[in-house]
Structure 1
Amino acid sequence: MKLNEAQITKTLSQFQAQVLAEDHQAVAQFREMFGQHTFFLDARGLHVLELLEVPGMEAEEGEVISLADWTDADFTTLRTHQPEPTGVVVRLKEVQH
């Protein structure tokens, strides 16, 4: 999912990572492989956020999905794998009572 600035801010407040800049040389390649997403990098590798949708309701949460792992201790090479849910759920919308 391609996130807007507010969604990126909310995600980063709950998931310790960095956003891969739109003009980064790897983004075009990642988009060819994985589609239009906002890509996040952390100490484990490359991730995206997928909405957790409930039929008939606007999505309020998303799950961090792992797409690639670092292959070296210097964080210079990623190895892609099948998308894997991480169990990390990000709240995108405030709960209103």
Structure 2
Amino acid sequence: MKLNSAQVKQTMTQLDAQVLPDDHPAVAKLNSVFGEHTFFVDRNGLKVLEPADAPDVPGQTGEVVSLAEWSDPDLTSLRPHEPEPTGVLIVLEPMKH
């Protein structure tokens, strides 16, 4: 899913990762391979959020999905794999009272 700037900011408070800005040279290639997403990288690899249905969490949530892992110890090359849900939920927009 493609996040707006408020959702990116909210995600960054809950996920130990860096967001790839839309003007990053890799984003166009990643979009062609994985579809239109906001991409995050962490010490384990490449992640995106997919909409999640979490009835016990108020508001809009997304689940962190792993798309690729680092293939070298210097974290310079990614090895794609089948999307793997991580079970980590991110509250994107808390329910308003």
- Asked if these proteins are the same fold (TM beyond 0.5), I'd say yes
Structure 1 residue ranges (4+ consecutive) displaced by more than 6 angstroms after TM superposition: none
CA distance in 2, matches of 1:87, 1:64: 7
Matched to 1:94, the amino acid is P
Number of matched pairs: 93
CA distance in 1, matches of 2:13, 2:23: 23
Look up the match of 1:73.
73
Structure 2 segments unaligned to the other structure (5+ residues): none
Correspondence 1:11-90 to 2 at 5 A: 11-53=11-53, 60-90=60-90
Q: CA deviation at 1:96?
A: 4.3
Aligned to 1:37, what secondary structure does the other structure show?
coil
More strand by share: 2
Structure 2 length-normalised TM: 0.89
RMSD, matched Cα: 1.5
1:11-40 superposed Cα distances (whole Å, 9 cap, x missing partner): 110011000111111111100010000000
Q: CA deviation at 1:47?
A: 0.5
